[in-house]
């Protein structure tokens, strides 16, 4: 997706725009600042929320500070992805990152045993955010799809080309940890076979691609652009034949 958040320009501010599942009560529970934008459709299990942050996050230090806040947000909220565009709102008051200081550092029920398993990641909020996301996915599906976890991390955190190898390594570390233990969690062993896991991974990838395309279509609509397979492919970062296939399917389903 194109970056519409103006992260590389001083004075523009940064829109931290997120889609999460739940009812949003955790925003008040953690004493977070009042969002500049909040939207939840009636009956929906997800909502979108956004804060306009004051500051410049184009430097390595600024980006690391911002990513730490995003990581700790994901520990308290079930974040699906970060939206790379500004919401439509007239509420433009800005917040400083220090106003998010009430966010959790690590889950309170994680003891020394968990930290001992990954001693070199004790203070790495991004690593633990990825690990918690992995646990949530294993609990829901019985296995962990590497590509899905990697895409989640790449969509959520602010990265440049040189940072992606480090982020990819963290995802790989977590994924291999659970793969080598047959997706074991809290003393339980999931009995899904490798073949079943592969089949489920294929289905997950298909659903993820479909969601990317739907998100691209929503952005095209937001900016009044024509919905074509080429435009969808460019916005979603996928091949045009793949976009054409899914756009046709969504039209048949009446989704667009």
Q: What residues does each domain of the chain span?
A: 1-105, 110-192, 200-252
Query: How does 11-32 read in b/e, with b if 16+ C-beta sit within 10 Å?
Result: eebbbbbbbbeeebeebeebeb
Model pLDDT for residues 105-132, shown as the tens digit of each residue? 544 444 444 544 554 455 788 998 999 9
Q: In the chain, how long is the greatest CA-to-CA distance?
A: 54
Model pLDDT for residues 120-174, shown as the tens digit of each residue? 455 788 998 999 999 989 988 888 999 999 999 999 998 776 778 999 999 999 9
The residues with which 17 forms a beta bridge, in sequence order, are 50
CA–CA separation, 127 vs 121, rounded Å? 7
The pLDDT score that the predictor gives to residue 253 is 77
Is the Cβ–Cβ distance between 50 and 87 less than 8 Å? Answer: yes
Q: Give the pair of three-digit tokens for residue 220.
A: 């095209």
Pick from 20, 60, 13, 39: which is nearest to 222 by CA?
A: 39
CA–CA separation, 145 vs 95, rounded Å? 36
The pLDDT score that the predictor gives to residue 202 is 67
Cα dist from 68 to 90, 129, 186, 199, whole Å: 27, 10, 26, 34
CA–CA separation, 190 vs 193, rounded Å? 9
Mean pLDDT of 184-198: 56
**Does residue 177 sit in helix, strand or coil?**
helix
The pLDDT score that the predictor gives to residue 234 is 86
18 or 61, which is more confident?
Answer: 18
The pLDDT score that the predictor gives to residue 49 is 94
Q: Give the pair of three-digit tokens for residue 56.
A: 């410049």
The pLDDT score that the predictor gives to residue 171 is 95
Q: pLDDT band for 198, please (50, 70, 90 cuts).
A: low
The pLDDT score that the predictor gives to residue 168 is 93
Q: Please give the span between the terminal C-alpha atoms of the chain, in angstroms, as a whole number.
A: 20
CA–CA separation, 229 vs 111, rounded Å? 49
Is the Cβ–Cβ distance between 152 and 81 less than 8 Å? Answer: yes
Q: Which residue has the tokens 């001693």?
A: 119
Q: Give the pair of three-digit tokens for residue 119.
A: 């001693």
Which strand (E) or helix (H) includes residue 135? helix 125-141
């Amino acid at each position: 997706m194109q970056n519409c958040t103006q992260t590389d320009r001083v004075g523009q501010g940064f829109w931290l725009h997120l889609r999460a599942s739940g009812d949003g009560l955790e925003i008040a529970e953690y004493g977070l600042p009042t969002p500049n934008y909040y939207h939840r459709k009636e009956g929906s299990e997800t909502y979108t929320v956004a804060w306009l942050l004051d500051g410049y996050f184009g430097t390595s230090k600024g980006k690391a500070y911002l990513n730490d806040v995003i990581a700790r947000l994901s520990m308290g909220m079930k974040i699906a992805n970060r939206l790379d565009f500004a919401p439509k709102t007239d509420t433009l008051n800005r917040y400083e990152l220090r106003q998010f200081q009430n966010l959790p550092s690590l889950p309170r029920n994680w003891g020394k045993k968990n930290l001992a398993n990954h001693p070199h990641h004790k203070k790495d909020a991004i690593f633990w955010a990825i690990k918690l996301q992995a646990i949530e996915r294993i609990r829901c599906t019985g296995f962990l799809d590497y590509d899905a976890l990697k895409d989640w991390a790449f969509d959520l955190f602010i990265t440049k080309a040189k940072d992606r190898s480090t982020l990819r390594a963290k995802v790989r570390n977590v994924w291999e940890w659970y793969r080598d233990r047959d997706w074991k969690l809290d003393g339980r062993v999931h009995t899904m076979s490798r073949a079943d896991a592969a089949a489920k991974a294929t289905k997950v990838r298909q659903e993820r691609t479909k969601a990317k395309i739907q998100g691209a279509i929503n952005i095209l609509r937001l900016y009044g652009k024509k919905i074509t397979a080429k435009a969808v492919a460019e916005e979603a970062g996928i091949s045009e034949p793949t976009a054409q296939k899914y756009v046709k399917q969504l039209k048949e389903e009446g989704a667009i």
